[in-house]
Amino acid sequence: MSRLRTFIAVDPGKAIRDRLVALQDALARAGAEVKWVEPDNLHVTLLFLGEVVDKDVPSVCRVVSDVAGKHGPFPMSVEKTGCFPNARRPRILWVGVGRGEADLCALHDELEQPLLDLGCYRREGRRYTPHITLGRNKKDGASGELAAALAKKADWKAGEITVAEILVMSSELRSDGPEYTVLSRAPCG
C-alpha cells in the first residue's frame, strides 16, 4: 500500500507570498545559516496528517470539503514575526496571523475529530497556533544577529487576503526540498 505525506493548508496568495520572500531576504542578511522555505511552499498549515494511505485520501478530502462548506470566506491578515522555541534559540522562523486567527483555529478544531475518527491524524500535544514557516535555523543554539533581525521586524505586516478555500496537499521529500501537490480544493461557504 502506498502512502502520501499529507497536510491541510491555506494558501496566502501571490501578493503576500512576494512580501514573505522579501522578508526572508531581509532576515537572510543577518547571516545565520537558515534553510529558507521555497516561495511556492509558503502556506498556513491547518493540520499535518503525516503518512496517509492512498485509499484514505478521498475520505480526507471529503472531510475537509464538508468542514470548509460550513464556514464562509473570511479575512486573514499575515503579520508579526517570531520564532520557536524562543528568541534565545530561534529554530523555526515564522510570521503570524492576526485577523482570521480565530477562524483558522475553528477550522482546525472542527477538522480534528473527523480525521481522528478516520485514523488519519494524531492529535498534537501543543495548542494550534496559525503561522507561516519562513525557514529553519540550521544551528542549534543562540543566534544574536538573527534574534535582533527578528525583533526589528516584530511588527511587520504583509497584508490581508480573503480565505475562500482550504487545500489538501501532499508533500514529496526530495534532496532539494519538499515538492507540494494540491490533492483537492475545498471552497468555503
Domain boundaries, the chain: 3-187
- Would you please indicate which residues are annotated as catalytic (active-site) residues? 43, 131
Neighbours of 56 (CB within 10 A): 18
- Quick: pLDDT tens for 92-150: 899 999 999 999 999 999 999 999 999 888 888 888 999 999 999 887 655 678 888 88
3-state secondary structure of 22: helix
Task: Give 62-74 pLDDT, tens digit per residue.
Answer: 999 999 999 999 9
Query: What is the b/e burial string over 15-53, where b = at least 16 CB atoms within 10 angstroms of the residue's CB?
Result: ebbebbbebbeebeebebebebbeeebbbbbbbebeebe
Q: Cα–Cα distance between 42 and 9 in angstroms, integer?
A: 10
- So what's the pLDDT on residue 54? 92
CB 103 within 8 A of CB 2: no
The answer, yes or no, to whether residue 162 has pLDDT greater than 70, is yes
CATH 3.90.1140.10 fits domain 3-187:
yes
**Mean pLDDT of the residues in the chain:** 92
